């Protein structure tokens, strides 16, 4: 539990992480899956994905709903989320689909824009779907 002396941003971050860890196993509801599908379709229309070259970062990836929709169209997808529970579900679903980790994998990390994060990997597309839309589903 966060102490009173911690900055508000740290308290919020810990509460957010705890919330999403708790709902990760039941996150992929039909409405969220359909929203991810529609989002991926719009993204593919807006950007010329190349399955042999496009690299994607999904920030606040959750269970990887959008990533899974984009996976046939990208060479590599990396998901990041502060919730270990969400990352575990993301990677479980990827393994269950038979996708190797070098093609699609998530990491539990809070990106801060510092050098060396994600081994300085570069991305062609960065995806960020607001969690407030899906947290009430």
18 belongs to a structural domain:
yes
1 belongs to a structural domain:
no
pLDDT tens-digit profile of 31-72? 888 999 999 999 999 999 999 999 999 999 999 999 999 999
CA distance 53 to 65: 21
Instruction: Give the total number of structural domains in the chain.
Output: 1
Q: The domain containing residue 88 runs over which residues?
A: 8-134
2 belongs to a structural domain:
no
Confidence of residue 133 (pLDDT cuts 50, 70, 90): very low
114 belongs to a structural domain:
yes
3 belongs to a structural domain:
no
Q: Give the CATH number of the domain where residue 89 resides.
A: 3.40.50.150
């Amino acid at each position: 539990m966060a102490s009173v002396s911690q900055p508000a941003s740290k308290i919020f971050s810990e509460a957010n992480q705890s919330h999403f860890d708790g709902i990760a196993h039941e996150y992929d509801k039909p409405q969220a899956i359909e929203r991810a599908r529609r989002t991926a379709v719009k993204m593919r229309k807006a950007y010329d994905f190349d399955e042999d070259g496009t690299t994607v970062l999904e920030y606040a990836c959750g269970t990887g709903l959008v990533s899974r929709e984009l996976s046939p169209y990208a060479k590599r997808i990396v998901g990041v989320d502060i919730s270990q529970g969400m990352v575990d579900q993301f990677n479980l679903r990827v393994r269950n689909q038979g996708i190797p980790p070098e093609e699609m994998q998530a990491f539990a990390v809070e990106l801060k824009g510092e050098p060396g994060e994600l081994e300085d990997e570069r991305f062609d597309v960065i995806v960020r779907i607001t969690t407030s839309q899906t947290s009430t589903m």
